[in-house]
Chain A
Amino acid sequence: MTETTEQAKEGLWGREGFREDPYVTAESLEDAGDAAAVILPLAAWLALPEDVRFDTNRKIGVSIAPGEKIDPLLPSLDRIPLIALQFPAFNDGRSYSKAELLKSQHNFKGELRAVGDVLIDQVAYMLRTGFDTLKVAHAVTLSRLAAHNLHDAPVYYQPGRGSHTVPGAYSWRRIPGA
Chain B
Amino acid sequence: MYRYDEFDHAFVSARVEQFKDQVERRLAGELTEEQFRPLRLMNGVYLQLHAYMLRVAIPYGTLSSRQMRKLAHIARHYDRGYGHFTTRQNLQYNWPALADMPKVLDELASVEMHALQTSGNCIRNVTADHFAGAAADEVADPRPYAEILRQWSSMHPEFSYLPRKFKIAVTGAERDRAAIQVHDIGLQLKKNEAGELGFAVYVGGGQGRTPMVAKKVRDFLPVEDLLTYTTAIVRVYNLNGRRDNKYKARIKILVHETGTEEIIRQIEAEWEAIRDTDLKMPQRDIDAIDEYFRAPNLAQRPEGWSKLASERKADPAFARWVDQNVTPHKNPDYGVVTISLKPIGGIPGDATDAQMDLVAEIAEKFSQDEIRVSHEQNLVLPHVAIADLRIVYDLLLTDGLATANAGLITDIIACPGLDYCALANARSIPVAQRISERFGSPERQSDIGELKIKISGCINACGHHHVGHIGILGVEKKGEELYQISLGGSGDEICTIGDITGRGFSSEEIVDAVETIVDRYLEIRADKEESFLATYRRLGAAPFKNALYGETANAA
Contact = CB atoms under 8 A, between A and B. Distances in A.
B243 interface: yes
Given A100-B158, A105-B274, A155 B285 contact: no
Size category of the binding interface on chain B: 35 or more
A169 interface: yes
B174 to A, nearest CB: 29
Contact of B11 (A91, A94, A155, A159): A155
B549 interface: no
B331 interface: no
Interface stretch (B134-142, B149-157, B333-341, B446-454): B149-157
Given A90-B161, A125-B160, A153 B285 contact: no
A172 B281 CA distance: 8
Interface string A134-178: 000000000000000001011111111000000001111100000
| Chain A interface, >50% SS class | loop
B238 A97 contact: yes
B520 interface: no
Given A157-B151, A172-B151, A94 B238 contact: yes
Interface in B183-217: none
A72 to B, nearest CB: 15
Interface residues of A, number: 35
Contacts of A159: 277-279
B121 A91 contact: yes
Main DSSP-derived SS at the B contact region: helix
B295 interface: no
Nearest to A67: B243
A101 B239 CA distance: 11
Contact of A151 (B18, B243, B288): B18
B273 interface: yes
Contacts of B282: 171
Interface of A: 66, 90-94, 96-98, 100-101, 104-105, 119, 121-122, 124-126, 128-129, 151, 153-160, 169-173
Given A129-B157, A154-B14, A158-B157, 16 more contacts: A91-B38, A93-B158, A93-B159, A93-B161, A93-B163, A96-B161, A98-B239, A129-B158, A154-B11, A155-B10, A157-B154, A157-B156, A170-B285, A171-B281, A172-B148, A172-B279
16 contacts: A90-B161, A93-B161, A93-B163, A93-B238, A97-B158, A101-B235, A124-B157, A153-B11, A154-B11, A155-B10, A157-B155, A158-B157, A169-B7, A170-B289, A172-B278, A173-B151
